Amino acid sequence: MSEACRRTGISSYTLRYYESVGLMKRVGRSEAGRRIYREQDLQWLEMLKVLRGTGMSIRRIRQLAAMVEQGDASLEARIAFFGDWQAELTRQIEVRQQALATIGKKIVRHATMLADFKDRKKRELPCITRP
C-alpha cells in the first residue's frame, strides 16, 4: 500500500475508502495480507484522482466503474460519460471565468476608489503653521 500511496499521492485512508465503496475491486493480497496493487490498479487510481480533482462525485465514479467492468461492450457509454463530464467542466470553467472577470473589475474599481480617497486626504490636510 505504501508504494501505491507514494506513486499516486493518494493517502492510505483514501485507498481503503475507495475499496470500501467498491471503486477498487480485486486488489491482490500477499500471504501476509498486505494489499498488492498491479499497474492497472495504479492507473485506475490515477484516473480516480483526476476525476475527484474535477469534482466528480463518488456516485458518478461508481457508474463509470460499473461500465469499465463491462469491458468493451460499454465503450460507447464511456465515451458518452466522458463527453458529458467534459461538457460540464467546460460550463464550470466558463462560469468561473465570468466570476474572475467580475472580481477583476471589482479590484480595479476599489483601487480607483482608494486612489481617489488618498488624493482627497492629501488635499484636506490642514496647513500647520509654526508660531
- Specify whether 104 is located in the same domain as 82: yes
In a domain, 131, yes or no: no
Number of separate domains in the chain: 2
Instruction: Tell me which residue range forms the domain holding 46.
Output: 1-69
Grid cell listed for 92? 464550470
In a domain, 46, yes or no: yes
Q: Each residue's pLDDT tens digit in the chain (131 positions)?
A: 888 899 999 999 999 999 999 999 888 888 888 888 999 999 999 999 999 999 999 999 999 999 999 999 999 999 999 999 999 999 999 999 999 999 999 999 999 999 999 888 887 766 666 66
- Specify whether 57 is located in the same domain as 83: no
In a domain, 129, yes or no: no
Best CA proximity match to 60, nearest among 42, 77, 41: 77
